[in-house]
Structure 1
Amino acid sequence: MWTPWVGKNYNKDRILILGESSYTYKEDADGLAIALDDDHPVRMVEGQLEPTADDSSFMTMLTNALTDRDCDTVAKRHAGWAQVAFTNYVPVSIGTAARQRPDAQAWGMAKAEWPMLLERLSPRHVIVLGLGSWDHIPKGKPIHDAAYTGPARDPAIEEFTLANGQTVLCWCHWHPSAGASWESIRNLIRHIKIREDRQPE
């Protein structure tokens, strides 16, 4: 299992942003791919917190969503990423180039680790980025929310229950490489927070 990024203010809303997968892209002096470290999701976020942010289009879109695109300083980017947790669903590298798809074994590993991931982070909400991930996540209890206009999946929201009885709502959303925009991700985060505010104490 990857070591997830957990922002210092994560406990306020307990929103986990779930990417799909990662690929090995670094090479050593001999031109061989270097295996990703277990803390790869943490390093992905830390790349956004440098004085000059990493140019990953995926992570830049998430940073824009978390800061309402007001991310021209390190402090603003830190504040945005402080509020969420982040990791990828597929717990292994799926190749050495972008656009490769997880194979059946990789999806199987992700599905097997899913309960452990939820128990480890105890989120109240998971934003699942990517229809492929959504279709390979174990099925939960269907939830209806007429105000959420997400991807054409039925259901597009599912509920899971942790060992301590806490419920987790998982939200299907497009992947940034296939239909999501920073605005759509931002709007879903806002929708989740409004929904939380309306829940009875």
Structure 2
Amino acid sequence: MSRFLPFIGRQYEDSIYGARVMILGLSHYGDPEDAYPEFTRDVIDENAYSPGNRFFTLLTNLLRLSKDAPDDTERRAAWEQVAFYNYIQDIVGITSRISPTPEMWDEARQPF
């Protein structure tokens, strides 16, 4: 069961990479009320398009094949080429470094 809709960039179908690229993350962290369908898309909007989140900056640089700090335009351009989906479809906990439960792993297989 998918609880969170994937983020799909506007250029995903016709990406500069010559193939569709999906970034598969592990899970979301936050409050239980964050478990709404648009949460993944909101996380991308709030974190991938501007500096400040190390995880998304590293992914942006990987997509750009660059170690230079991207500006906001470069960030947006990189993320418009890809899709992003978290495998575990539950809020795992308030902070990172909390492992998904065995039940969460079992449920995550269902969409596949």
Unaligned runs of 5+ in 2: none
Name the structure where strand makes up a greater proportion of residues. 1
Instruction: Find the partner of 2:8 among 6, 9, 24.
Output: 6
Change over 3 Å in CA distance of 1:70–1:80 after alignment to 2? farther
Residue aligned with 2:99, SS: coil
| Distance in 1 separating the partners of 2:39 and 2:5 | 7
Partner of 1:97: 95
Deviation at 1:80, TM superposition (A): 0.5
Change over 3 Å in CA distance of 1:70–1:78 after alignment to 2? farther
Instruction: Find the partner of 2:29 among 5, 12, 23.
Output: 23
Q: Which letter maps to 1:5? A: F
Which is higher, the Rg of structure 1 or of structure 2? 1
Partner of 2:81: 83
Q: How does 1:1-201 map to 2 (within 5 A)?
A: 1=2, 2-12=4-14, 13-24=19-30, 33-36=31-34, 37-47=36-46, 48-49=48-49, 53-67=50-64, 68-70=66-68, 72-113=70-111, 115=112
Say if 2:23 and 2:84, in contact at 8 Å, map to a contact too: yes
| Distance in 1 separating the partners of 2:103 and 2:21 | 28
Deviation at 1:75, TM superposition (A): 1.6
| Distance in 1 separating the partners of 2:10 and 2:68 | 20
TM-score, normalisation: structure 2: 0.80
TM-score, normalisation: structure 1: 0.47
| Distance in 2 separating the partners of 1:17 and 1:42 | 13
Change over 3 Å in CA distance of 1:74–1:62 after alignment to 2? same
| Distance in 1 separating the partners of 2:8 and 2:22 | 9
CA RMSD of aligned residues (A): 1.7
| Distance in 2 separating the partners of 1:40 and 1:70 | 29
| Distance in 2 separating the partners of 1:34 and 1:103 | 15
Unaligned runs of 5+ in 1: 25-32, 116-201
Of all paired residues, the percent bearing the same amino acid is 29
Say if 1:44 and 1:59, in contact at 8 Å, map to a contact too: no
Deviation at 1:87, TM superposition (A): 1.2
Say if 1:90 and 1:110, in contact at 8 Å, map to a contact too: yes
Residue aligned with 1:87, SS: strand
